[in-house]
Structure 1
Amino acid sequence: MKILYVTDVEGNWDYFLRFIQTVQTSPHTLNALTFTDASHTRLVLQRGYQFVFGGDVGDKGVGTLRLIRVLLALKHDYPDRVVLIAGNRDVNKMRWTSEFTDVEMDLKTMDPGIKNGPHWLPETTRQSLGIIPYLSKLARNGQDVPITSTDSSSSIDYMALDAVNTKVCTPYLHLYMMIISSYCAFKWFLVRI
C-alpha cells in the first residue's frame, strides 16, 4: 500500500489544492486522490493508497472550514485508509474552549502561575508603554479601574495589570470562540477515531 501524506496546510486551501494536483499528475501517484467534481467537496481515494493528514488543519488560512469538511468526509468514506493526526496548532485551538471561559479569564479566580507569568524581562528593566500612567490618571479621576493596596506609594495593583496585559480582553472572547467553533467538529471526530 502506498501512502499519500500532507501536513501543515493551516487553512491554506490553495496549498491543499496544489497537493491534490501534484498527486493527480505525478507518475507515481497518478489520480490516487481526486475530487469528485468541480465543487471540491468530496475526494476519491483509489485502492492501494492510504492518506495521512499530519496535523495543523487550520490556522490563519481562510480555507479552514472547507478543509475540515473535506477531510472529515474523506475519513467517513474511507475509515480504514485515512488517518487524521492532530497537530500542535489543532490541539492548542481545542484547548481554547476551556481556557477562555469567563471563570478562567477572571483575575480573582485565575491560577497564580498564569496570572503572574510569564515575565520575559526583569522588572528592573521594564519600560512602561503608557498603560500604567493612563490607568493611574483614571484612578485619580475616580473612574473604574482595578484598585488594591499593594504598596504604600500606590493604589494600583501592578501585578494584576501585568496579568491583564497578557490576556485576551473579554470583548474579543466571542471572536476567538467563533474561530474555535470551526474546530469543534474536528475535535468531536478525533475523539471517535
Structure 2
Amino acid sequence: MRSVWRRRLGSTAGTRSGTTSFLTDAEGHLGHWERQVRFSEVLEARNGADGALELRFREPHEQSRFVFGGDVVDHGPGDMRIANALVDFKQRHPDRVWLLAGNRDLNKLYLRGVLRDLFKRDPRGAVDVLKTTLKRKMGAPHAFEQRRLELGQIRGESEVSDLDVVQSFQESVEPGGFMLRFLQNAQLGLVLGDTLFVHGAVPQRGLGFVPGQEDRAPGPLTWMDRLNVFFRAEIDRFAHDRSDGRDLIEYSRPGGFDGRGVVYNSWLESVFSSVPAEIPEAVVSFLSRDGICRVLSGHRPHGDTPTVIRDASRRLSVVTSDISYADKDAADSRGKVVTETLVMTKQGSQPSTCRVRGVRRDDTKYDFVVEDKATPWLGRPTPKEWGIPGGHAKIALAQDECLVCQGKGEGFWGSDLNNFALRVSSNA
C-alpha cells in the first residue's frame, strides 16, 4: 500500500525498464526549447489544432518517460506557451511525465499580493511596480517586454499595452492562470528508481527537512513524499485564497528556511565559483539509505554543457544541466547549444545508467555514460599529475578527452570561459 501511495504522490516509481529524458531551465526561450525537444531522443514537438505547441513521446510505449527540472519562465517570449505545453503533456501522461517547480516559477506567487488590488486601484502604478519587482526581486529585467512580445504573437496583434502585460502577469497566478496551473501540476522532488530529481541541490543541513515539521524524514523517499505533500497543500491553499504562498516563496528563495531547501541551493563551491564543491559524505549516506546513486538537477548555469560531479567514493553521481548561459554572444544566451540527460533503466533490480549527450557552441558533440569505467576521472577534481590546480573534469568528450572547468578568471556564471578540452591519455 505504501508503494501505491508514493506512486500516486509522484515522488517515486518502480524500476520498470525504459528511458527517462531530463530537460530543465527553459526560462521562456521558446525557440531554444523547441531545439531542445527536436534534439531529444524521447520527445518531439508538434503544432496542435489551435497552433499551440504540443509535446509528444517519440515512442508510444510506456517505457518512455520525461522529467522537466523547473524554471519555465522569465527570459524569453515563450513563458505561457512552454508552460501550457508542459501541463498539457503532464495531464495526458500523468504517470510518465513529471514537472518540478523551480525558484523562478515559485516566486511568481508573490505577484498576486502585489498586483491584485493595486491593478484595480491604480493600473498605471501597477505597471511601475511590476517592472521594478521583476527586475529587483526576480532577476528578470526583460520579462515585462518579453511578455508583451508573447501576447502579441499569440493574439496576432502588433501592439500590446502596458496594462495588458500587467493583467497577464496578475491573472497568471489566479485560478485558471497558466503559472498557477503549472504549479498545480508540479512538485518539489521526484524519485524514479535509483535517481533523485530536484531543481537545485541537496544541502547537508537540509537533509530530511520539511517546513512546519519538527522531525526530519529518516530517508530520501519519505522526505520527498513529505515535501510534495507540503507543496501540494500550500499550492491548494494559495489557489483557494487561504494563503499568500509565503512558505513556498521562502522555501525557494536564496537562504530561505536557513538554506535548507532543494530549490535554490547549488552544487558549486559558492555563488562566485564555477568549480563544483565536494559532495558531503552525509548527503551520500542519507541518499543511499533508499538506494539512490544519482541526482539530476538544473538551476545554476554552468557553461555550454552539463556538469558531472561524483563523491570521492563514487557512490553518488550528480548531473546538473542548466545551460542558460551557454553562449554569451547569442541573443538568447544559448544559441545552438543543446543537451539531454537520459536515465536508462533495466527491468528488475539492476542499477540504471545515465547517458549525457549534446552539442556545444563550437559544434563539438558529446555522448557518454557517467558510469563508464573507462573514464574514472569523470566528475572529480583534476589529479595533481595533470598540473591543473583547482580544475574539475566536468564531462567526457571521449574516453581519452575531458572538458575541464576552473574557478579562476571571468565568467563564473557561464563558466565556459574557463573550460578547455584536455587529452587525458597524455596527462594521466
**AA at the equivalent of 1:86:** A
Following the alignment from structure 1 to structure 2, what is the Cα–Cα distance between the partners of residues 182 and 171? 15
C-alpha contact (below 8 Å) 1:96/1:180 kept by paired residues: yes
- Return the offset for 1:93: 1.1
Per-residue CA deviation, residues 9-31 of structure 1 (Å, 9 max, x unaligned), is 111001111111111xxxxx2xx
Counterpart residue number, 2:168: 178
- 1:19-168 alignment, distance < 5 Å: 19-23=36-40, 29=41, 32-37=42-47, 39=51, 41-45=53-57, 46=59, 47=61, 48-102=63-117
Per-residue CA deviation, residues 58-98 of structure 1 (Å, 9 max, x unaligned), is 10210111111211111111111111111101111122112
Cα separation, partners in 2 of 1:101 and 1:75, compared to 1, 3 Å: same
SS in 2 for 1:96: helix
Following the alignment from structure 1 to structure 2, what is the Cα–Cα distance between the partners of residues 19 and 43? 12
Cα separation, partners in 2 of 1:78 and 1:171, compared to 1, 3 Å: closer
Cα separation, partners in 2 of 1:21 and 1:189, compared to 1, 3 Å: closer
Q: Which runs of 5+ in 1 are unaligned?
A: 24-28, 104-167
C-alpha contact (below 8 Å) 1:94/1:180 kept by paired residues: no
Following the alignment from structure 1 to structure 2, what is the Cα–Cα distance between the partners of residues 72 and 21? 19
**AA at the equivalent of 2:112:** T
**AA at the equivalent of 2:168:** M
SS in 2 for 1:42: strand
**AA at the equivalent of 2:43:** L
Following the alignment from structure 1 to structure 2, what is the Cα–Cα distance between the partners of residues 186 and 101? 15
* Structure 2 length-normalised TM: 0.26
Q: Which runs of 5+ in 2 are unaligned?
A: 1-17, 119-123, 131-162, 187-428
**AA at the equivalent of 1:179:** F
Counterpart residue number, 2:21: 4
Following the alignment from structure 2 to structure 1, what is the Cα–Cα distance between the partners of residues 86 and 99? 8
Per-residue CA deviation, residues 153-177 of structure 1 (Å, 9 max, x unaligned), is xxxxxxxxxxxxxxx9445355444
RCO higher in 1 or 2 (8 Å CA, sep ≥ 6)? 1
* Structure 1 length-normalised TM: 0.54
- Return the offset for 1:50: 1.2
Cα separation, partners in 2 of 1:69 and 1:190, compared to 1, 3 Å: same
- Report which of the two has the higher share of helix: 1
C-alpha contact (below 8 Å) 1:11/1:62 kept by paired residues: yes
Following the alignment from structure 1 to structure 2, what is the Cα–Cα distance between the partners of residues 73 and 10? 18
Higher-Rg member (1/2): 1
**AA at the equivalent of 1:186:** M
**AA at the equivalent of 1:21:** R
2:181 counterpart of 1:188: yes
Following the alignment from structure 1 to structure 2, what is the Cα–Cα distance between the partners of residues 37 and 169? 38
Following the alignment from structure 2 to structure 1, what is the Cα–Cα distance between the partners of residues 116 and 172? 17
- Report which of the two has the higher share of strand: 2
Cα separation, partners in 2 of 1:170 and 1:67, compared to 1, 3 Å: closer
SS in 2 for 1:62: coil
C-alpha contact (below 8 Å) 2:27/2:73 kept by paired residues: yes
Per-residue CA deviation, residues 91-123 of structure 1 (Å, 9 max, x unaligned), is 1112211244547xxxxxxxxxxxxxxxxxxxx
Cα separation, partners in 2 of 1:20 and 1:73, compared to 1, 3 Å: same
**AA at the equivalent of 2:64:** Y
- Return the offset for 1:179: 2.6
SS in 1 for 2:180: helix
Following the alignment from structure 1 to structure 2, what is the Cα–Cα distance between the partners of residues 88 and 66? 19
**AA at the equivalent of 1:43:** L
